[in-house]
Structure 1
Amino acid sequence: MTDLFTLDAELRTDLGKGASRRLRHANKVPAILYGEGQEPVSLTLEHKNVFRAQQEEAFYSSVLTINVDGKPVECLIKDMQRHPFKNLVMHLDFMRVDAKHALHANVPVHFINEENVVKLGATIAHHVTEIAVTCLPKDLPEFIEVDLADLVVGQTLHLSDVTFPKGVTSDELAKGEAHDQAVVSANAPKGSSDEDDSEDATEEAAAE
């Protein structure tokens, strides 16, 4: 995984739409690297390496290493432009990170033990697929696990119910209780309340 997220890049001086088009025809991807108070630089990467890396979920929530003309730079992927119907990456935006500075990133959510709740007859509603977090680069998780083992029908888990890894905090919770958004719900099957009412009415009629 480490090798997969280490990409070689070359500095690019030939800019503009025409230059980018020529790069893509040569199976290369134009990119830009910015952040940490330094000037943005334009880069070129091999498309095959980028395409292979971007197929991994962790690519979007990991600190990457970009070797810019042999000099390693740690960064995050901040934006990716894809071709509307071809399997092509058109452009990449990388943001530099500093080991001593906290960063903001969106981390995917993995729900586990979901089958336990489904067995109870509940339908699961996922309200988020990723969570915005703040942490130092060394603490950035590839994903955040949300355990549904103890979830019961009718219950909703919020951000405040999520166990975050050490050194990782939720950006939304930092804004206050009003931003404690729902993460996942276990909803009763549709029509179950009506069926219960019907059964109750039948039992009452029989008793009379």
Structure 2
Amino acid sequence: MSNENQLSVEKRVRVGKGPVRDVRAEGFVPGIYYDAKGENIPVKVREVPLTKLYEKVGKAHVFTLKIESEGQITEKPVFIWQISRHAYKKQIMHVDFYGVDLNKPIRVMVPVNVTGKAPGLILGGVVQIFRDKIELECLPLEIPETVTVDVSSMNINDTVHISSLPLPQGVKAVYGDDNFAVVGVVPPASETEAEAATGEAAPAAGA
């Protein structure tokens, strides 16, 4: 995966509530670039290109931030850490860019995508995604777009746990001792409800 996406921003000289209001009045979104080394750079960016980039890369994919200051441009590999929006408008109020070292692994949340048709569906089963996102650890430029789970061979009560997810080389799931289920084919709702009702109606021991 190449770092082909780019976003141009300008360094902000003035900071504080007043200057931030002025930045927004000029049609910019105020933001901050920061990294693990402690570097912090106040920036401003046009909302339209920021919105388009965010729709493309989300919060889990690295791109090049081009910071202009006094006629000089510095390029930083980053991902979007946080976007704050207006309470009731679509307007973006603030953005945080987090700088990464391309040679050091990072942890990010990546969405789960299901493909295929499970045989269990023929018997009335339902494909259920227990975790729509999972945490992965890998180098910044190796982050996959999604984690794809093929359910083509799954019958009712079959599950795919995080330890058995198909992941690209160099990418690993983060889960500790909890080998939780990510996707499963569950019985029809009517059967599940009937079992629950039977369990609730069961007499107490010694009755």
**Is the TM-score greater than 0.5?**
yes
Is the contact made by 2:65 and 2:75 (CA closer than 8 Å) also made in structure 1? Answer: yes
Residue 103 of structure 2, aligned match among 100, 107, 123: 100
Alignment RMSD (CA, Å): 2.2
Query: 1:66 maps to what in 2?
Result: 65
| Cα separation, 2, equivalents of 1:43 and 1:167 | 33
Output the amino acid matched with 2:159.
T
Query: 1:146 maps to what in 2?
Result: 149
Is the contact made by 1:107 and 1:131 (CA closer than 8 Å) also made in structure 2? Answer: yes
Instruction: Name stretches of at least 5 consecutive residues in structure 2 with no aligned partner.
Output: 196-207
Is the contact made by 1:27 and 1:48 (CA closer than 8 Å) also made in structure 2? Answer: no
Residue 133 of structure 2, aligned match among 125, 130, 143: 130
Is the contact made by 2:11 and 2:43 (CA closer than 8 Å) also made in structure 1? Answer: yes
Cα shift at 1:189: 0.8
Deviation string 1:156-198 (CA, Å, 9 cap, x unpaired) is 22101211111001121xx2xx321221121111224759xxx
Cα shift at 1:116: 5.2
Query: 1:205 maps to what in 2?
Result: none
Is the contact made by 1:34 and 1:41 (CA closer than 8 Å) also made in structure 2? Answer: yes
Distance 1:150 1:40, change over 3 A: same
Match of 1:160, SS?
helix
| Cα separation, 1, equivalents of 2:88 and 2:158 | 40
Structure having the higher helix fraction is: 1
Output the amino acid matched with 1:143.
T
Cα shift at 1:65: 0.7
Q: How does 1:1-208 map to 2 (within 5 A)?
A: 5-56=5-56, 58-69=57-68, 70-114=73-117, 117-172=120-175, 175=176, 178-192=177-191
Query: 2:200 maps to what in 1?
Result: none
Cα shift at 1:117: 4.4
Is the contact made by 2:4 and 2:63 (CA closer than 8 Å) also made in structure 1? Answer: no
Taking structure 1 as the reference length, the TM-score comes to 0.82
Taking structure 2 as the reference length, the TM-score comes to 0.82
Match of 2:189, SS?
coil
| Cα separation, 1, equivalents of 2:184 and 2:76 | 41
Output the amino acid matched with 1:180.
N
Cα shift at 1:6: 0.7
Query: 1:203 maps to what in 2?
Result: none
Match of 2:145, SS?
coil
Cα shift at 1:3: 9.4
Distance 1:189 1:30, change over 3 A: same
Output the amino acid matched with 1:59.
G
Is the contact made by 1:4 and 1:53 (CA closer than 8 Å) also made in structure 2? Answer: no
Deviation string 1:73-130 (CA, Å, 9 cap, x unpaired) is 1011111111222122111111111121111111111111146543442122211111
The size of the alignment, in residue pairs, is: 189
Query: 2:201 maps to what in 1?
Result: none
| Cα separation, 1, equivalents of 2:135 and 2:20 | 32
